Amino acid sequence: MTAVSINRPGEGRGLGKLGQIDWSLVGMLCLIAGAGAVMLYSVGGTSMTPWAGNHILRFTVFLGMTLVLALVDIRVWFALSYPVYVVALLLLVAVEAVGDVRMGAQRWLSLGPFSFQPSEIMKIGIVMALARFYHGVSAEDARWSIKLLIPALMIAVPVGLVAHQPDLGTALLILFTGAAVMFIAGLSWTVIAALGAAGAVAIPLMITFVLHEYQRQRIFTFLKPETDPSGAGYHTLQGKIALGSGGFLGKGLGLGSQSQSDFLPEKHTDFIYASLAEEFGFIGAFGILILYGLAIAAALRIAAQSASHFGRLAATGVTATFGLYVLINAAMIMGLAPVVGIPMPMLSYGGTVMLTVMIGFGLILSVRVHRFTEIGRGAI
């Protein structure tokens, strides 16, 4: 591996690197997580238990981990890219063989008292592996060449494994993230148009022959949830009711009728954004989206400043994953997309997703701290 490190004024080692962290981005993450703690306090019956206290504790621990990861040299991230992807892939295969079955889905692996979803590791692994692959590919080959079969397979295999669990939401997230990295790396518009046309043909076939019955039902009912208000359309309808009932200023903390009366399903996870909109109205719902947008803009600015192609692609890919979380969850709550089990990052309750997101931001901040570090295009 060939790499050249260039130290510019203000970039040091050890504790000196802390000054190179984008603390404004860290502050935005703290505000989002803080908003999540407030909402979890509210939907938990205005109590720190069972969710708000754990949320704060997890974020505090994971934030410390993120700051440590920010100090890790970008060349270490580069060296670990393929191993992380391979480990994540092997764990996904292990899920097929010995994974735990919960609520009809085989998604978890257990290690003693701990359980986790390997698909969460793949969300980071796919970005790192694709960024490393494209780091050594010429601009012409990145546009269109036979070599692109490699990243296509790198995306397709985990997507297939995750979809089989079944976990359609995560499978789509990995697919869209991988596609975003390929696009950012310079994929030809002709190829993009051809893939779009192929997707338009394949989607109806997949809905008919590949998806499970409950997944098909979700897709069909999200367009007209009123046809099954107490069944498949229940989640969408209750989310819309909560979203609209908050009005402009909201009903107030702890006063949301849908969430406090338990009409709103998954009020602390997938539908916490609806809870926020009900209690803090349009101002609160729009304000948190602005905060997400600022965090995404800050992360993209970091990506643009990187001297290495790997750093640019890795930071942009992680940002794309984060942005897709927000986009899909918000669309799901608004009834613009089927309910696919994608939480609102940092706002929803859940340790595994928060861990994945914070590792991703550790990578982004590492790109910022080591933005002047160059990695030779011939590095392998």
Domains in the chain: boundaries: 3-375
pLDDT of residue 204: 78
Beta carbons of 6 and 372 less than 8 angstroms apart: yes
Q: What's the whole-number average pLDDT of the chain?
A: 88
- Closest residue by Cα to residue 142 from 199, 73, 189: 189
- pLDDT digits 0-9 by tens, 257-313: 888 877 888 889 999 999 999 999 999 999 999 999 999 999 999 999 999 999 999
> What is the pTM for the complete model shown?
0.90
Which class for 25: exposed (0-12), middle (13-18), buried (19 or more C-beta within 10 A)?
buried
CA Rg value for the chain: 21
Beta carbons of 109 and 95 less than 8 angstroms apart: yes
Q: Is 212 left (phi over 0), alpha (psi -120 to 50) or beta?
A: beta
More confident residue, 124 or 221: 124
- pLDDT digits 0-9 by tens, 100-123: 887 677 888 887 777 888 999 999
- Mean pLDDT check: name the lowest of 35-49, 195-209, 273-287: 195-209
pLDDT of residue 9: 45
Q: What percent of the chain has pLDDT over 70?
A: 90
